[in-house]
Chain A
Amino acid sequence: MNRKALNPPGEATTLVSSGAGGSSSQSPDAEIEFVNVEKYFLRDGRLVETLRDLNLAVPRGQFVCLIGPSGCGKSTLLNMTAGLFEPTAGSVRFQGSPVALPNTKVGYITQQDNLLPWRTTARNVELALRIKKMPKAQRRRRAQDIIDLVGLSGFEDAYPSELSGGMRKRVTLARTLVYEPDVLLADEPFGALDAQLKLLLARELLTIWERTRQTMVFVTHDISEAIALADRVIVFSRRPATVKLDCPVDLPRPRDLFSIRSERRYGELYEKLWLALADDIEAGEAV
């Protein structure tokens, strides 16, 4: 029930080769580090190479966006950081040591809301604190603070099914922020929302992040979202994914998401990232 259940559907078997941990190159400041990571999946008896020779270090407090063609293994990267499965070869290091399975120091915001449908907003937000056995009164207070922060006051007693898509996203955000994880992982969190709502929620996320400055790894397929949010955008190639472009975003903070698109530097970055992405996307479409 447990070990099996932790693998996402469709990825039936995870190949794990032991002892192939090349852990020589450690940068001291890195919160997350991928060293020579390779990842294979066995899908319908066919070996699928998802990540090839991936080396990547994310320093503490950095906001990194990952973009790349769909199905290229960005989510695999997040899942390995969250300790939901291990690399086939190479090693994933978290705060200087191999990543725990599962990694309880991260908060993971997935594309699906993954809210517990039998818990109200407040009780969903409290869940992590309850698991960590925080006293009830303290738990209530903390949860309420975060609920207010994400703008859900008045919806504490609503069940997820009674909330709109945007509100459910806010609950997911609140539920993750409430236990103050060292690192936030986000997998296209606003992917299913309409453009205006997406911008609005991205702005709120940025406002909160500029206060907390947690390390953030944010997967998106939206170049403009990536530039607007990140300190650094990493473009992945088609599967097997390798880093194609590692592009620092030198736009000043705090940023205004509504006006940032009219800046000249934004346009330059957009073009650069689009060029890096384009041929892989076109090649992917042609197949």
Chain B
Amino acid sequence: MKTRSSRQDVAEVPAEAVEHDGAARRAEMSRQLQADVDRSRRRQRAARYLGRLAIVVGMLALWNYSSGRLVDEFWVSSPGAVWERLSEWLIDGTILHHFAFTIRAMVFGLLIGTVSGITVGFILGMSRFLSDIFEPFILVVYGLPKIALAPLFILWFGIGIESKVILAAVIVFFLVFYNTYAGVHAVDRGLLDVVAIMGGGRSDRLRHVILPSCTAWIYTGLQLAVPYSLIGAIVGEIIASDRGLGYLLRRSSGTFDTPGTISALIVLAAIGLAFMALVRLSQKWTASWMRVQPAVGNAI
């Protein structure tokens, strides 16, 4: 039943009936068809949500059942215990305290990385000479997992917020830099020619072709950079910190506090989800031409 597609609904209308009667009949028919399609869509959506709910409930039930029976509660905790810990942390401000630290590290890293990435991307993108000089260095860093720099940054900048900001900024920098750089190189020469023939000078070409062309690439880089800046901040906190959600996670697991560990993970998942929703929203707001660029660069 549920697999019946809307196309089959349309096919069920006998053709001669449409020809026979006038416009009113046709209008009535199309209204009815639309109602059918709407109804089946609603039904499908309800089924989808029900299915998802069933999975969540099933998982929780399985977790609840197996905890203490199949697996030692010490390892997996239980839904009730996690809920208790989570609400306790929410009420006493623990979550807020660490959340604020992580978000601050992330946002500063995002800002610094974006601005420097765009700047350097343009400078190297526009100058053949400079990009030739820097190419091998860029390749070396491209292959390096940026996360591996975290211990060094902690050594240099301490266990405070600075080392987390720097780590997030470095990850963001490379994502935004690669995309800006690729964007400058991907500028369509045909478009530059068109503007030149129209009498456009260097500044017209920059303003009407090069900058907007790169905007789409930078935007794509930023979409990637947002979740990865969170990774940068968290990893920095996990390695060495006295605040932040990453620290909360490590402290909980370090003290064999399984409900705490799972609670911290749940908060992180929620933050990730929120950022994904933000990125999706921003996609809706941007013009369609912005969405066509492929992203380049490896993040971590």
Please judge, given known A-B contacts A5-B187, A104-B199, whether A159 and B287 are in contact too, CB under 8 Å: yes
CB-defined contacts of B156 to chain A, threshold 8 Å: none
Q: How far is the CA of A5 from the CA of B288 in the complex (A)?
A: 26
Q: How far is the CA of A102 from the CA of B235 in the complex (A)?
A: 54
* A107 at the B interface (CB under 8 A): yes
The answer to whether B126 touches A6 (Cβ under 8 A) is no
Please judge, given known A-B contacts A1-B126, A104-B199, A116-B209, whether A84 and B289 are in contact too, CB under 8 Å: no
The segment from A47-55, A124-132, A189-197, A205-213 that touches chain B is A124-132
For chain A, the count of residues having a C-beta within 8 Å of the partner chain is 32
What's the count of A-B pairs with C-beta under 8 Å?
78
Q: How far is the CA of A8 from the CA of B196 in the complex (A)?
A: 13
Categorize the interface residue count of chain B: 20 to 34
Please judge, given known A-B contacts A8-B189, A114-B188, whether A161 and B292 are in contact too, CB under 8 Å: yes
Q: Which one of B126, B189, B196, B288 has the highest number of Cβ atoms from chain A below 10 Å of its Cβ? A: B196
CB-defined contacts of B126 to chain A, threshold 8 Å: 1
* A112 at the B interface (CB under 8 A): yes
Chain B nearest CB, measured from A134 CB (Å): 12
The answer to whether B193 touches A84 (Cβ under 8 A) is yes
Chain A nearest CB, measured from B83 CB (Å): 48
CB-defined contacts of B68 to chain A, threshold 8 Å: none
CB-defined contacts of B191 to chain A, threshold 8 Å: 114, 116
The answer to whether B190 touches A104 (Cβ under 8 A) is no
* B139 at the A interface (CB under 8 A): no
CB-defined contacts of A112 to chain B, threshold 8 Å: 190
Q: How far is the CA of A116 from the CA of B215 in the complex (A)?
A: 13
* A108 at the B interface (CB under 8 A): yes
* B7 at the A interface (CB under 8 A): no
Q: In residues 161-218 of chain B, which contact A (Cβ within 8 Å)?
A: 187-200, 202, 204-205, 208-210, 212-213, 215-216
Q: How far is the CA of A267 from the CA of B191 in the complex (A)?
A: 39
Chain B nearest CB, measured from A84 CB (Å): 6
CB-defined contacts of A160 to chain B, threshold 8 Å: 289
Q: How far is the CA of A5 from the CA of B187 in the complex (A)?
A: 9
The answer to whether A102 touches B197 (Cβ under 8 A) is yes
The answer to whether A5 touches B198 (Cβ under 8 A) is no
* A29 at the B interface (CB under 8 A): no
Q: Which one of A4, A103, A106, A118 has the highest number of Cβ atoms from chain B below 10 Å of its Cβ? A: A118
The answer to whether A118 touches B192 (Cβ under 8 A) is no
* A138 at the B interface (CB under 8 A): no
From B212, which residue of chain A is reached at the shortest CB distance? A118
Question: What are 15 A-B pairs at a CB distance below 8 A?
Answer: A82-B193, A84-B196, A102-B193, A104-B199, A108-B194, A112-B190, A114-B188, A114-B193, A116-B208, A116-B209, A117-B289, A118-B215, A118-B287, A159-B287, A160-B289
**Can you list the 9 inter-chain pairs with the closest CB atoms, starting with the nearest?**
A104-B199, A128-B198, A117-B289, A118-B212, A114-B190, A102-B196, A131-B200, A5-B192, A114-B194
